[in-house]
Amino acid sequence: MNSAVKNILKFLLFLGVGVGLVYLIVRKITPEDWKNIKLAAGSANYFWVGLCLAIGVLSHFLRAIRWRMLIEPIDKKPGLLNTFCAVIIGYMANYAVPRLGEVSRCGVLSRYEKLSFAGLVGTVVVERAVDLLVMFLFFLVMLLLSFGKVYNIVKAKAALVLEGKWDSIKHINPVILIVVVVTIVGGAWFLYKKKDHLFGFAKKFINNFIGGIKSIANLKKPFLFWVYSIGIWILYLLMLYACCFCFTETSHLTLADALVVLMFGTFGVIAPVPGGIGAYQWLVISALTHLFFISPNIAFTLAWILWGSQLVLIVFLGLISLILLPIINKNEQTGIHTVENI
């Protein structure tokens, strides 16, 4: 099976999962709910969506600048415009096949800047390690600021869900019980048989993570690199916080509340579905409705505005990047419109 067929099948599989998640979200929405959702979408203050998009562009530029800092020690410093376009194309590729973006942006920059593809892949590995660390730091900040509120709400919700359910559990269908037990036992057996492979993978991941973090010390301006890394996630937070002002019902949410929603949404984005579709909406809606008691219709509308606005932005900028890159990188031998590195 060639790579093209594999990519198509992979795309269809991931898309199917995403569509399935979307179906689970919308299947219980009534016609009256759809009417209210349309009214909410029509009455939203889209100034804040525009501000969210502007902040998003800034975060992408910051990521491009940070990537250049990683590339410079192993090769020449690429042009900012080429790097930015490569980052955007990578984001756009992720909406097709998860994780394809990392390879795509390396391929684009390698082609137009004549850089080592393998070297660029190495810098992306470092980037992912840094992003994982910063995400973990933001998660700790979220726990520090909102643990009490989140814990109490989750505890109350759990008690409500479990209340009066014991009799139903006692009368559970034996067939379902057998399936659950077989699944658990089978999963445990599979993990036991694959333990060496899994341990090896975990060890390799940890070594790559530690090596990536250590490599930051070799940069010319390591402190600035960390400032950019944290700044990218601060911009992500501000993007989401700005969109909260689209609706009166969510305008009271604090920056700490927005951080909780951001963390929920981040786990959706990194899910193995195109662009996090379905997973992102489900987690954001769950956070807004169950943790902050936002009405389901407003939560649904806001989640789709957050996801959809970024999709439109990335596709728009991605298409422009695909058009611009060949123009601004015309062969120097022709002597026509060559753009110098910024």
| CA dist., res. 128 & res. 120, Å (int) | 13
Query: Which are the contacts of 272, defined by CB distance < 8 A and separation ≥ 6?
Result: 14, 17, 98, 99
* pLDDT tens digits along 17-55: 777 888 888 888 889 989 999 999 999 999 999 999 999
Question: Rounded to an integer, what distance in angstroms lies between the CA atom of residue 220 and that of residue 339?
Answer: 26
Element at 186 (helix H, strand E): helix 174-193
* Domain limits for position 110: 12-334
How does DSSP assign 137-170, residue by residue? HHHHHHHHHHHHHHHHHHHHHHHHHHTT-HHHHH
Residue 5 in domain: no
Does residue 180 fall inside a structural domain?
Answer: yes
DSSP letters spanning 102-124: HHHHHHHHHHHHT--HHHHHHHH
How many structural domains does the chain have? 1
Assigned domain for 1 exists: no
Is residue 4 situated within a structural domain? no
Residue 212 lies in a domain: yes
Question: How far is it, in rounded angstroms, from Cα 218 to Cα 210?
Answer: 14
Q: With respect to residue 339, please indicate whether it lies within any of the assigned structural domains.
A: no
Going by pLDDT thresholds of 50, 70 and 90, the confidence category of residue 339 is very low
pTM reported for the whole predicted model: 0.81
Give the chain's mean pLDDT.
82
pLDDT of 68 over the 80 cut: yes
AA letter at 88: I
Average pLDDT in the 106-118 region? 90
Is pLDDT of 7 > 70? no
C-alpha span between 68 and 90 (Å, rounded): 15
Determine the 3-state secondary structure of 338 from DSSP.
coil
3-class state of residue 83 by DSSP: helix
Is the separation of the CB atoms in 110 and 118 below 8 Å?
A: no
Is 65 within a domain? yes
Q: Is residue 241's pLDDT more than 90?
A: yes
Is 234 part of any domain?
yes
As a whole number of angstroms, the distance between CA 261 and CA 282 comes to 11
For the record, the structure tokens of 77 come out as 């410093």
Amino acid at 66: R
Distance (Å) of CA 38 to CA 32, 46, 59, 282 = 10, 14, 30, 19
- Number of C-beta neighbours around residue 271 at 10 A: 21
How far is the C-alpha of 101 from the C-alpha of 118, rounded, in Å?
A: 15
